[in-house]
Structure 1
């Protein structure tokens, strides 16, 4: 790949991929590109599906779970099952419960979003990758095991 040249008692690394870069300091680092979607540009259908997943997961799962968790935490504090914070009152625990509800809501909607991405048209690389991943991790049921 790179060769070291000796000249004038100085070793330089050949960065022939860049015309004016001839020293090791100016050579770009070698990068290992491992993720298949690292430089991928999403199609309009893929962007639309991802935005719908984001919006629906928020309104259908995050808001209800956050509200329920925060309300339950507030009720537990008011009834004495949980102690209030001496300085901040109910705020830290209710906020933590709401954030936990948000995370649980996002995670609970991921199978629906996965199915939506698998339903993208055949020309979609993201849809193809999601179908391959699903097929590899969810093999069809074996009819002999019934």
Structure 2
């Protein structure tokens, strides 16, 4: 048996499932149960209502109009010759991409309104308190210079 084979065999006997500094003794860090503090958080009815309103309003007020606008502009650009049609699929890939970009842009552009809506939740709401704290930490105060 070569030295390399003996080393592999020896490390297999002592392996405790971690990268310990010492391979001669079983030195492993203690197992800790690390979970996120909001892992088992249950939303209150007010929070659920606010989140559903954000979802619905962002879709109808931003996503749908922007998707329609982007797809229309893309279709007009293809018809007028500014963009080329796909030889196999036609206008479908570019229209799909424009619609998807409009949807994403609509969701992102509505995030400030949703943020404001969540900050208006009652003081008993943990989500509202978290959003107010985040806004206070990140938003510049009026009259202050950064």
TM-score by length of 2: 0.75
Deviations 1:15-69 (A, max 9, x none): xxxxxxxxxxxxxx744224x4221100000000000000000000000000000
Structure number with higher strand proportion: 1
Deviations 1:57-107 (A, max 9, x none): 000000000000000000000000000000000000001000000000000
Q: Give distance in 2, aligned partners of 1:39 and 1:132.
A: 21
Aligned Cα root-mean-square deviation (Å): 2.0
Matching of residues 67-146 of structure 1 within 5 Å: 67-142=68-143
Q: Tell me, what secondary structure is at the counterpart of 1:93?
A: helix
List alignment gaps of at least 5 residues for structure 2. 1-13, 17-30
Q: Tell me, what secondary structure is at the counterpart of 2:115?
A: helix
Q: Give distance in 1, aligned partners of 2:116 and 2:40.
A: 23
- 2:34 is matched with 32
Q: Give distance in 1, aligned partners of 2:89 and 2:43.
A: 45
Deviation of the 1:142 alpha carbon: 2.5
Q: How many residues align?
A: 118
Runs of 4+ in 1 over 2 A off after TM superposition: 29-34
List alignment gaps of at least 5 residues for structure 1. 1-10, 14-28
TM-score by length of 1: 0.75
